[in-house]
Amino acid sequence: MTVTPPAQPPAAFSTAQSTAQATGQSDSLFERAKRVTPGGVNSPVRAFRSVGGVPRFMASADGAYLTDADGNTYIDYIGSWGPMILGHNHPAVREAVVAAAQSGTSFGAPGWREVELAELVCGVTGAQKVRFVNSGTEATMSALRLARGFTGRKYTLKFRGNYHGHFDGLLVEAGSGLMTNAGVLGAAAPSSAGVPDEYARLTLVSEYNDAPALDALMAARGHEIAAVIFEPVVGNAGVLLPTTEFLSALHRARGGGTLLIADEVMTGFRLSASGATGRLGLRPDLSCWGKIIGGGLPVGAYGGRAEIMDFVSPVGPVYQAGTLSGNPLAMSAGLATLQALQADPGLYDRLEHYTARLAGGLAQAALEAGVTVCINQIGSMLTVFFQAGPVSNYTEAARSDTAAFATWFQGLLKRGVYWAPSQYESIFVSGAHGETELEATLQAAREAFVEIKAQANA
Ligand code: PLP
């Protein structure tokens, strides 16, 4: 199935909705939500804390657009934080989920969709075996336990600003949600209250893109390290691209039996059919997936070489289980999404083309407005850092002008463009974004950049 962008934006959409946006429904939902949910949200970055204002409560989504409870329509650049690569409400995905629901919503026993999705994932990624779970966090958590069980070692090595989900052992120097809410949580390692030092001590941290530091750490402690886990392209400190030297150092890191775990929860099936690792020529021992693999329903997965994966229960000694793992609705959405991607081999080029033009247009707009930005982009992922750059690691990303970003974000939002509400996130372009959306986005961005300058001069 080919993915066709909608010919016209929805009737409600207008870049001229600008400053007159009504938010009464979102305001009142937020007030109610705050009474019954911490911070009024079920995942922290959604709360708009670093950009200010009231989060928009969404009512529906279609193609490249979100519509909120007040009827405002936005060009969506979050795509549910990555899964919606085909655009929202894609007919093939919707129909597959409806058909699955008509056959029962959960079996607690294996079903045919799990087999088909596993075959498809192994076929395109090169993994020999895969295990489905319910989120990206579960995938990385399970892959790490497996690495410890397989190697008999205790330590994990991760990189500053890489986020691998919210479980204890990896909430150390952990990227966007934590950077965004640093004032609340404290930016030290561990990144969250409630993570015992004893857990955090089992996680060693190195700077992303620092090949000599990685080599030195592996030379000193490699024999104790079960796994090096990494985002092959980082999205969780804003987009950071790996250098060739760093990729070589990652390869060297597995010399002494340490496993290489690529966290492709964000980049898997996004940066190419075989993810960021396929695109970069990396061969990890294990990979973790989430987001796109579930097509908008809750799915995660980890997989890799059969000799390692066969350490997982019921064949191996590493226990891992899930009541809803392999759920038929979730499998059907993942299957329909990956099949649609396979059926449209030109999609990745189209996404890259759109996003590169978006990057070029934004750079030009910032230049014309006299605002300094550094834009990192690869495939359909992009971050506008409000600083001169270059930005290649967490320390450099953290130098960004978050106040300028917040002004820009609000400028986009009131003009009907829904950008990620944090300086330290990637945005995600979908196959439903076309010329109309690109032009409207750039027009809104031009005006929003001018507002930053006007605010600075006030
Ligand atoms: N790993 C990476 C690279 C992620 O970006 C995320 C979430 O954004 C996770 C793991 C955790 O996934 P989930 O939120 O599905 O638990």
Report the CATH number at residue 215: 3.40.640.10
Q: Which one of 65, 158, 285, 291 is the catalytic residue?
A: 291
What is d(CA 279, CA 247) in angstroms, rounded to the nearest whole number? 12
Residues 359, 338 share a domain:
no
Q: Six-digit token pair at 386?
A: 């409000």
Residue 228 domain boundaries: 91-343
208 is catalytic: no
Instruction: State how far the Cα of 301 lies from the Cα of 219, in Å rounded to an integer.
Output: 31
Of 316, 345, 311, 327, nearest in space to 431 by CA: 345
Q: Is the pLDDT of residue 188 over 50?
A: no
Q: Which tens digit of pLDDT belongs to each residue from 264-276?
A: 999 999 999 999 9
- Ligand 1 contact via 268 beta carbon (within 6 Å): no
Q: Which pLDDT band holds residue 255 (cuts at 50, 70, 90)?
A: confident
| 381 Cβ neighbours under 8 A, 6+ residues apart | 233, 235, 239, 266, 267, 270, 271, 355, 426, 427, 428
- Taking the C-alpha atoms of residue 38 and residue 30, their distance in angstroms, rounded to an integer, is 11
290 and 429 belong to one structural domain = no
Residue 174: predicted pLDDT: 64
Find out whether the beta carbon of 175 lies less than 6 Å from any atom of ligand 1.
no
Tally Cβ neighbours within 10 Å of residue 410. 18
CA-proximal residue: ligand 1, atom 10 (nearest): 164
Rounded to the nearest whole angstrom, what is the distance from the C-alpha of residue 365 to the centroid of ligand 1?
32
What separation in angstroms does the CA of 79 have from each of 82, 117, 421?
5, 22, 13
Question: Within this chain, do residues 64 and 207 fall inside the same structural domain, yes or no?
Answer: no
Whole-angstrom distance, CA of residue 330 vs CA of residue 199 = 32
Is 146 found in the same domain as 134? Answer: yes
Q: Is 451 helix (H, G, I), strand (E, B) or coil?
A: helix
- Other residues' Cβ atoms within 10 Å of the Cβ of residue 77: 24
Residue 5 φ then ψ, to 5°: -65, 150
Q: Whose CA is nearest to atom 14 of ligand 1?
A: 136
Residue 333 C-alpha from the chain's centroid: 18
In a domain, 10, yes or no: no
Indicate whether 211 and 284 sit together in one domain: yes
In a shared domain, residues 130 and 240: yes
By the 8 A CB rule, do 338 and 117 touch?
Answer: yes
User: What pLDDT, in 10s, does the model give residues 286-307?
Assistant: 999 999 999 999 999 999 999 9
Domain boundary among 322, 343, 364: 343
> What is the Cα–Cα distance from 324 to 204, expressed in whole angstroms?
32
pLDDT of residue 186: 27
- Which entry of 65, 77, 163, 208 is annotated as an active-site residue? 163
Angle between helices 402-414 and 435-457 (to 10 degrees): 130
Is residue 337 domain-shared with residue 402, that is, in the same domain? Answer: no
Task: Please choose, from the candidates 434, 428, 431, 408, the residue with its C-alpha nearest in 3D space to the C-alpha of residue 53.
Answer: 408
- In the annotation, is 163 catalytic? yes
Same domain, 220 and 299: yes
Of all residues in the chain, the percent with pLDDT exceeding 70 is: 92
Residue type, 390: P
Which of 162, 235, 279 is CA-nearest to residue 382? 235
**Three-state secondary-structure class, residue 167:** coil
List of residues 6+ apart from 95 with CB closer than 8 A: 336
Number of domains in the chain: 2
Q: Residue 192: inside a domain, yes or no?
A: yes
Tokens of 123: 């076929």
Q: Is residue 8 part of a domain?
A: no
Active site includes 263?
yes
pLDDT digits (tens, 9 = 90+) for 442-456: 999 999 999 998 887
On whether both 330 and 396 belong to a single domain, the answer is: no
User: Would the CB of 137 count as within 6 Å of ligand 1?
Assistant: yes
Domain-terminating residue out of 291, 326, 343? 343
Q: Is 231 in the pocket of ligand 1 (CB under 6 A)?
A: yes
pLDDT tens column, 192-242: 888 888 888 899 999 999 999 999 999 999 999 999 999 999 999 999 999
Q: What is the pLDDT of residue 191?
A: 74
Mean pLDDT, the chain, rounded, equals 92
Same domain membership, residue 223 and residue 99: yes
Domain boundary residue, one of 314, 343, 372: 343
For 282, the token pair is 């990396």
Measured between alpha carbons, how far is 124 from 186 in angstroms, rounded to an integer? 40
Q: Is residue 329 part of a domain?
A: yes
Is 310 in the same domain as 184? yes
**Ligand 1 centroid vs 391 CA: distance in angstroms?**
22
Domain identity same for 44 and 140: no
CATH number, domain with residue 385:
3.90.1150.10
The confidence score (pLDDT) of residue 182 equals: 43
Give the pTM: 0.94
